Chain A
Amino acid sequence: MSQPIKLGCHGIWKVYGDNSEVFFDREESPQSRRERIVRGGHIPAACDVSFEVEKGEIFVIMGLSGSGKSTVVRCLSRLIEPSAGQVLLDGENLLEKSKAELIEIRRHRLGMVFQHFGLLPHQTVLENVAFPLRVQGLNLSDREARARKMIELVGLEGREANYPRELSGGQQQRVGIARSLAVDPEIWLLDEPFSALDPLIRRQMQDEFLRLQKLLHKTIIFITHDFLEALKLADRIAIMKDGWVVQIGAPAELVSHPANDYVAEFTRDVPRLKIITAGEVLKTCESKSEPKEFRSNTTIPSNSTLENLLPDLAGSAQGLTVVGADDQVLGKITMHDVINTLANSMEK
């Protein structure tokens, strides 16, 4: 995964309160700056937030309410003006753009989905989806044609003439998704898009989201407060707390090597079977296991999760052969190894 960096976010701060610029008059460590802000009676919503998102990547920002994740996603599009820092879109700093340039960027390069959908109540599904195009001044027939395509993409054909209030929550969010994609944006921002939905619908929408991403290959910033959702969808996750980014890493990394107790607290309830891979079992059990005898016929790739390899393992008493990406043999794992690994991860 070495795609070019699409979106870079460097040292973003957001401080609420009057005259917050006084806190950025000198160089100092982020910790002492934050202390100064709090002492001044201001509220630091985002502190020194930095991350880079590769082209085509799903980058999930996960945090509980009040952690600053919604502030950060709004700083990226300047719905909220950051107090300090840089947002680089293809290397250009968004924060230096004029109002008119910003409007152009929003019209063509950014799309956003909202937690409570943010649909216009007086417009039909079709008009809602076509709204970003109407704002650009596209003519009626072109924008309706484009909107119909989007509605089809999210599977809402036949509901074009309905009003948002006549749709279920899941359907409304499909409209929100279709609208955000109508201008074919490069960056797709999703602010807790499925949090307002029922669990069953939420799972459906997550699958739907992954399906769309397979088709579209957008660069995605996805906000959630649900750690399992983050694990399911993310290429990489950033965990936020009190305005800080606590840790950034791939899902398996977070689970196996949480940066601190706070992150570990989230990973505790995660079903290990969904996270731990064959490769990881191999790594943990290397020292303890006997010299390998490669008698097993069944091979599995090193990145398959325990959940996927358990049926195979149950059927072969000798264990399974683990192979890497180019089919070279990496080692062997047995039932005993798996149990050891699981027990080991519980202790953590």
Chain B
Amino acid sequence: MKHGFSRQIPPALLVWILAGLVSGVSIFYRTELPWLVNYPEAWVLPVIEWANTGMDWFVENFRWFFRSISWLLSWAMSGALAVLVWLPWAAAIVLFMGVALIAGGWSLAVFTVAALMYMVVIGYWEESMRTLALVSVSVPLSVIVGFGMGVAALRSRRTNRIVQPALDLMQTVPTFAYLVPILLLFGFGPVVGLIASSIYACPPMVRNTMLALSRVPEEVVESGKMSGATERQLFWWVRFPTALPTIMIGVNQATMAALSMVIIAAIIGSSADIGWEVLSTMRRANFGESLLAGIVIALIAMVLDRITRAFATRDSRKRKYLSGVSNLQTLVGTLFVTAFFIIAAQLYPELNDYPDDWVFYPAGYLNDIVAFVTVEFSGILEAIKNGFLFFLLLPLRIGLENTIRPFTWGFTLTPVISGGYAVMTMLLAAFLGVRYSWRVSVGILLVCSILFFGFEHSPWPMIIILIVVLAWQVVGLWIGILTLSGLGFMLVTGVWVPAMRSLYLCLAAVLCSFLIGCLLGILASQNNRLSGILRPIIDTLQTMPLFVLLIPVLMFFQVGEFTAFLAIIAYAIVPAIRYTEHGLRHVDPEVVEAARSMGCTERQLLWEVRLPLAIPEIMLGLNQTIMFALAMLVIAALVGTRGLGQSIYIALSKADFGLGLVAGLSMALIAIIADRVLHAYSRRQRQALGLQ
């Protein structure tokens, strides 16, 4: 039997056996050779020091340049700030209402007024205006720069070759990591947040500009040429206006990105804006206060999102809200009423400064409620938390080997039990290998051994070879090499341990988000009412600046890894639901009709037709889930995770450029590798199914 087997051994299996051997050997010798688990300090390349030296030199020589930019921008910002803070709140509300009215009609105007009134009544008006002032400078800046870059990249292939990878990097390097070099170059002050948010908001603008202009139908351009348009006329009269709706979507995305970065930039605490308010109250564990401030951020996000989106999608001619009144008349009317309120505010100071006695600030009640719930339901909350910790998070991190204790699982891990686990695993793998294919059994072996040893306590050669072989076998040699160099980078620069911690937390959260998200997506695709309920919720979750999501979780579960885990799920579940539902609902209707006409039940239709055809789309959803999880992972460092996010956070507080660079790049590498693998897989699946 052995002879027959060895003759038909597929080369891919051989590779896996080799990888298994390496893993086995490194596990076997891990006590004798401790360097297999803990990469020795002495072997670390001092990349961080080199980067710092380089940066010091750069700052020394070019500081004048960046400082003058920062000086220029600080003028623009002070201007915006002066206007917005000086403007009486009543007048400002009228102004915003007018803009909302022009953009999207009455319902948007009412929503805008309600949101702004909340800020006034709760007493966060000035903080909100400071945030808005930052956004109002950084958005036009990134829109102009992004548009210019997009046009330039479309015009010349050489520019495009520089811009594309730059965009990839800008979007995958975590937001915190931006802040370190900016801090060093531009100095402290509100301008740092401004510049960081402009940079962060650029990529969506560039991408949408390029997409929009390249999608202008060729015939439209040709018709312009045949009319005898010059190059300039062709661009400004034909290409640009035809592309405008998509470009406006870029403006919408840039605005949201800028806002989220402004909030994050509050970490360096340079302006008394609403982000700082949330952060400082959160640090003092004043959860009621931080929730109230967090709602302000959420409202600002929603108002900005809806107004800019309304501008992108509105039909300039068809306004239903006021018949016979043009946009210009609305604008003039708005300005007139605004001016009236400015004058009135001189006579009635209440319109200028909202009196403190009128402020309604229910933080105390909120805190009481939270305290009540945490005390009353402490048993349940603890049980949930410990359940996830003991049965998912800890095994993934430090392995079953170190998790199973009488205190956690109720028994001690004796060698007999370990042996039993190994035998069970082998049997399961053998069974699955015979029943399905050897690939499934390799998968099971992989999962079970990682579960047993954990990411943090597994020997690094084992983890590297397993992940690299996985990427190689699933996608291809190039991805394998990319993965190898990525993991190698983390190893030799000395961020291996935090990287593994991030990896495990991300993996656990992605697993949960994806499972729950797929389930909800499947249900929502079958049930219109559920879909109707879910949609506004996931829309809101997606527009929310990230660290607002931390607040409610933090209230009930305190600082710790579990809180981070929940916050990541809350955010990363969005694409899982969305892509699954979309994929299932948009299967080719002819195929669905064909299946129905053959007499498929709804259940058969779902499992036999819709799901297999939706796999490529669901895989893209998984890809997005991972991206979202990584983005949140960094923010979650604020509530005490101990991974790359924490390293970046430390780098920020110490202004350690090298550490920020290495940790940020490692994070970006994880994102890029996951992205490439899943994209390649989805593309292959799509081709196999003959879609597109």
Binding site for B on A (CB under 8 A): 74, 77, 79, 103-108, 110-112, 114-123, 131-132, 134-136, 163, 176, 179-180, 183, 189
Which among B223, B241, B317 is the interface contact of A163 at CB below 8 angstroms? B317
User: Is B237 at the interface (CB under 8 A from chain A)?
Assistant: yes
User: Is B608 at the interface (CB under 8 A from chain A)?
Assistant: no
Interface residues of B in 233-258 (CB under 8 A from A): 233, 237-238, 241-242, 244
A131 to B237, alpha carbons, bound, how many Å?
A: 9
Which among A108, A112, A134, A136 is the interface contact of B222 at CB below 8 angstroms? A112
16 extra A-B contacts, CB within 8 A, seeds A103-B229, A118-B222, A132-B228: A79-B222, A103-B230, A107-B228, A112-B223, A112-B226, A114-B223, A115-B219, A116-B219, A117-B219, A118-B223, A120-B220, A120-B223, A121-B242, A132-B227, A135-B230, A163-B317
User: Is B225 at the interface (CB under 8 A from chain A)?
Assistant: yes
Binding site for A on B (CB under 8 A): 217, 219-220, 222-230, 233, 237-238, 241-242, 244, 317
Q: Are B242 and A79 in contact (CB under 8 A)?
A: no
Which among B220, B237, B241, B317 is the interface contact of A119 at CB below 8 angstroms? B220
Which among A79, A107, A119, A122 is the interface contact of B244 at CB below 8 angstroms? A122
Chain B contacts of A121 at CB under 8 A? 220, 242
For this complex, 8 residue pairs linking A to B, each with C-beta atoms less than 8 Å apart, are A79-B226, A104-B228, A106-B227, A108-B228, A118-B220, A118-B222, A136-B228, A179-B227
Q: Are B223 and A103 in contact (CB under 8 A)?
A: no
Q: Are A116 and B226 in contact (CB under 8 A)?
A: no
A115 to B219, alpha carbons, bound, how many Å?
A: 8
A121 to B220, alpha carbons, bound, how many Å?
A: 9
Q: Are A107 and B219 in contact (CB under 8 A)?
A: no
A112 to B217, alpha carbons, bound, how many Å?
A: 16
Chain B contacts of A79 at CB under 8 A? 222, 225-226
Asked whether A106 and B228 contact (CB < 8 A) given A120-B242, A122-B242, A122-B244, the answer is: yes
Chain A contacts of B244 at CB under 8 A? 122
Chain A contacts of B227 at CB under 8 A? 106-107, 131-132, 135, 179, 183
Chain B contacts of A120 at CB under 8 A? 220, 223-224, 238, 241-242
Closest residue of B by beta carbon distance from A104 = B228
Chain B contacts of A189 at CB under 8 A? 226
Minimum C-beta distance from B521 to chain A (A): 32
Asked whether A122 and B241 contact (CB < 8 A) given A106-B227, A106-B228, A135-B227, the answer is: yes
Main secondary structure, interface of A, reads: mixed
Closest residue of B by beta carbon distance from A163 = B317
Closest residue of A by beta carbon distance from B240 = A122
Chain A contacts of B224 at CB under 8 A? 120, 131, 135
- A-B pairs, 4 with minimum CB distance: A107-B228, A118-B223, A118-B219, A132-B227
Minimum C-beta distance from A75 to chain B (A): 13
Q: Are B317 and A179 in contact (CB under 8 A)?
A: no
A105 to B244, alpha carbons, bound, how many Å?
A: 30
Which among B219, B226, B233, B241 is the interface contact of A110 at CB below 8 angstroms? B226
Q: Are A118 and B228 in contact (CB under 8 A)?
A: no
Q: Are A106 and B217 in contact (CB under 8 A)?
A: no
Minimum C-beta distance from B592 to chain A (A): 27
Chain A contacts of B226 at CB under 8 A? 77, 79, 106, 110-112, 180, 189
Q: Are A135 and B229 in contact (CB under 8 A)?
A: yes
A121 to B221, alpha carbons, bound, how many Å?
A: 12
Closest residue of B by beta carbon distance from A109 = B228
Q: Are A116 and B217 in contact (CB under 8 A)?
A: yes
Asked whether A118 and B242 contact (CB < 8 A) given A107-B228, A132-B228, A163-B317, the answer is: no
Chain A contacts of B237 at CB under 8 A? 131, 134-135
Closest residue of B by beta carbon distance from A117 = B219
A55 to B172, alpha carbons, bound, how many Å?
A: 62
Closest residue of B by beta carbon distance from A131 = B227
A74 to B222, alpha carbons, bound, how many Å?
A: 9
A122 to B229, alpha carbons, bound, how many Å?
A: 17
A111 to B220, alpha carbons, bound, how many Å?
A: 14
Interface centre among B225, B227, B242, B244 (most CB of A within 10 A): B227
Chain B contacts of A103 at CB under 8 A? 228-230
A308 to B220, alpha carbons, bound, how many Å?
A: 43
Chain A contacts of B225 at CB under 8 A? 79, 106
A148 to B223, alpha carbons, bound, how many Å?
A: 19
A115 to B125, alpha carbons, bound, how many Å?
A: 56
Closest residue of A by beta carbon distance from B234 = A135
Chain A contacts of B229 at CB under 8 A? 103, 135
Closest residue of A by beta carbon distance from B231 = A99
Asked whether A114 and B238 contact (CB < 8 A) given A106-B226, A122-B244, A132-B228, the answer is: no
Chain B contacts of A180 at CB under 8 A? 226
Chain B contacts of A131 at CB under 8 A? 224, 227, 237
Minimum C-beta distance from B315 to chain A (A): 8
A183 to B228, alpha carbons, bound, how many Å?
A: 11
A141 to B225, alpha carbons, bound, how many Å?
A: 23
Minimum C-beta distance from A107 to chain B (A): 3
A163 to B223, alpha carbons, bound, how many Å?
A: 17
Chain A contacts of B233 at CB under 8 A? 135
Chain B contacts of A134 at CB under 8 A? 237
Minimum C-beta distance from A305 to chain B (A): 36
Chain A contacts of B223 at CB under 8 A? 112, 114, 118-120, 176, 179
Minimum C-beta distance from B680 to chain A (A): 27
A284 to B425, alpha carbons, bound, how many Å?
A: 90
Chain A contacts of B222 at CB under 8 A? 74, 79, 112, 114, 118
Chain A contacts of B220 at CB under 8 A? 118-121
A79 to B226, alpha carbons, bound, how many Å?
A: 8
Chain B contacts of A106 at CB under 8 A? 225-228
Minimum C-beta distance from B241 to chain A (A): 4
Chain B contacts of A176 at CB under 8 A? 223
